[in-house]
Amino acid sequence: MEKISAAGRALAVILAIVSAFVSSPLIAPLLLILGGIAAIGNTPERNNKNFLMTIVLILGASTLEAMPFTGSYLATIFESLGVAFVGASIVAITITLEQRMVRDWLK
């Protein structure tokens, strides 16, 4: 399972870079799915770090547009990475909720 998560993570990064140069309505859903795949085997500590990175990427990526020449490309790349981290966060929250429900009902 670790290899599948690693592949999802690598594909999400590659797709985020490609999104700066190619526009398609499929990019955002693919980033969400690949981010979710990357988060399947995460530990709670790693999920906490992912939550923080999600917030920083979503809120801070647009500030990169202030850079001349490359700013818009960098902003798009980091915004796309933020979308992938949103997918990872949603999967992490879902897995945590499932674990809590099992723990609550199987006591």
Integer-rounded Cα Rg, in Å, for the chain is 15
What's the token pair of residue 26?
A: 């499929």
Nearest alpha carbon to residue 38 among 15, 78, 6, 86: 6
Q: pLDDT at position 66, please?
A: 92
- Model pTM score: 0.91
Q: pLDDT at position 1, please?
A: 79
For 29, the domain range is 2-105
Q: pLDDT at position 23, please?
A: 94
Nearest alpha carbon to residue 96 among 65, 58, 33, 51: 51
Overall domain count for the chain: 1
69: left (phi over 0), alpha (psi -120 to 50) or beta: left
Q: pLDDT at position 6, please?
A: 94
Q: Residues of the chain whose pLDDT is less than 50?
A: none
